[in-house]
Each structure stands twice: as structure tokens, then as C-alpha cells.
A = this chain, B = another copy of it.
Amino acid sequence: MLNYRTDLAMEAFDGENQDDLPGVDVHRWETGGVTLTEVVISDACAADALGKPAGRYLTLESPLLRRRDPDVRRAMAGLLAEELARLLPEEDPRACALVIGLGNRQITPDSLGPCVIDRTLVTRHLNDHLFPLSDMRPVSAIAPGVLGVTGIETMDIVESLVRLLSPAAVICIDSLAARDSRRIGATLQLTDTGIQPGAGVGNHRRALTCESVGAPVIAIGMPTVIHAATLARDAFDWLNRQSGDDSPHEDALSDMERSLLATDLGDMIVTPREIDALVQDAAGIIAAGINRALQPELTEAEIAAMMD
């Protein structure tokens, strides 16, 4: 089967009349050069129609992100920190958090999660060993590796760690697939619905959700690739639209799929040439957002000084 997937909830609407879909609310606003889109899916019927579980999806977007504009990067890290703070359980500001970097460190477009872990301020061992009275929230962070590298289902490792650490919240970071090349490297998605099977560049096999984990699971991701099959299908659709032909063409489409599969193209990804730099940049923004949301008492300088 070819993969035409998008991991962005906002792309599930593209081309649809959004107001007509009951059980879905979409809001869009702008601040500091960043466009925010909130999609709230509130009933099971809408969730089915869109192929996304019910919950809140927030997208932060700016075309300037790919041009490395430092003001937009700072704005995005700040917005991410605010919105993430809103999703954290309120009861106890010192309740333990576990940050999980999904994906494969050795495959650049799939390495966003591990790269964020490298820059996340971990403090749980400080609270335990050195500063039992400090104001810092205890944070642990790990990049467990992918099934093909460890031989262990990622979700099994995460569940073991949750049992060990009993975190009040789990934050997962993952590389995503998009449909539209303009969103690669330009969009962050934050959601409270956890991680779904088949999502992410590495295609997870099992869900990681509040139910499976027993704690809120917040997912943060950035699209780094388009599946090659998506691109071919888009060309196909585009051509059909051009010829004024809007019939489904299911037969022609499955012929094309068979033909693409035979050329290995089904396994290939479309990615910007500068993907290595894009992933590093995004990891810096996401880690800054996480660090500020989890340690609101620390200044940026204090966070930097504690990283090593």
C-alpha cells in the first residue's frame, strides 16, 4: 500500500468546506508574524471523517521559519511555551514530566525527536540527588530509538518508563509527513491527542495516548517530508482537474500506484535539500518552548547555564 498520509490535522480539511462539518471547530489568528490554527474535533463522527482522533490540534506556521528569521523563531518558541503550558496538568507545578524523542537519530528527516532530547533541560536527577528543595519541575527525557534499531516496540519502552517514573504528563516529539511542500520546515503542530499508529515519518505501530499511558500525552511535531506517493498522486489529481475531469478515476489511480511501487518510489520521501539544517533549527525552537513551559521559574540564561 502506498502512503499518502498527512500528519497535520489542518491539512485534513484542505479543499473542504470547513464550516459544514459538524463536530469540528476551526479558528485562525495571527500574532508576531506567526499564524495559529486551532482545530477542535469534538465528536467521533467528525474524527472518523477526518481520520484523526478527537481532541485539540494547534498549528503554528510562518514561511519565514525556513528563512531562519530569528524574530519568528523567538516568537514561535514563546508561543509554543505558552500553549504547551496550557496543556500541562494544573494541580502541581512541580509534578514530574517525561519528554520522549520519537524517531531515528541516524535518518536525518526522522531525527527531530532525538535532536530535541539533546537540548531538553533534564532536572529529575538534580531534584533527587542535589536540590531536593528546589523549585524546578523534575523532568526526564529519552530518545528510545525505533523498532528497526532496537528490536523493541517503542511504545513498550515508553510504557515501561511511565511505570518507572509515574509522570504527570508525557510530551512526545516526532517528525511528521505533510501533503503540501510549503509546510515542510515551516509548521509546528501541538496536540493533546497523543501519537497514533501509522503517524510520524517512522510510522508507529501502536498508539501512545492518555488511555494507554495513564497520563496526558501531548504531541509536538514538525513536517519534514512528503511521501513520494503523495506527490505523484497530487500531480495526478492536478492533471485531472486541468482536463475538467472530476470523476474519481480509481482504475487509473491504482494502475499508477502499481507502477510506482515497482520502482521503489513508494519508499522514497520528498524533502528539502537543506533538511539537516531545518531539523537542527526546529529542534532548537521546540526545545526552547518545552524548557520554558516546564521551568517557568528559570530565566533563559539559567536554562542555558544548566545545559551540558
Contacts and interface: CB of A to CB of B under 8 A. Distances in A.
Interface string A223-253: 0001010011011101100110000000010
A269 B157 CA distance: 34
Nearest to A162: B160
Interface in A232-290: 232, 234-236, 238-239, 242-243, 252, 255-256, 259, 263-265, 267-277
A211 to B, nearest CB: 20
A176 B302 CA distance: 29
Interface residues of A, number: 79
Chain A interface main SS type? helix
Contacts of A1: none
Interface string A111-124: 00000011000111
A30 interface: no
B276 A255 contact: no
Contacts of A276: 106-108
Given A232-B231, A263-B182, A239 B239 contact: yes
A161 B118 CA distance: 22
Given A265-B181, A271-B268, A242 B252 contact: yes
Interface in A141-195: 141-145, 147-153, 156-157, 160-161, 163-165, 180-182, 184
B145 A143 contact: yes
A165 B142 contact: no
A303 to B, nearest CB: 9
Given A70-B305, A125-B148, A140-B151, A272 B263 contact: no
Stoichiometry, as copies per complex, reads 4
B268 A273 contact: yes
Contacts of A277: 106, 308
Contact of A124 (B109, B145, B152, B238): B152
A304 interface: yes
Contacts of A236: 235, 239
Contacts of A124: 151-152
A235 B264 contact: no
A153 B201 CA distance: 30
Given A122-B149, A151-B123, A305 B67 contact: yes
A133 interface: no
A153 B125 contact: yes
A138 interface: yes
A261 to B, nearest CB: 11
A277 B304 CA distance: 12
Interface string A31-57: 000000000000000000000000000
Given A108-B108, A122-B149, A141-B150, A69 B160 contact: no
A143 B157 CA distance: 12
A307 to B, nearest CB: 6
Given A67-B308, A231-B235, A242-B252, 4 more contacts: A68-B307, A69-B305, A141-B151, A160-B160
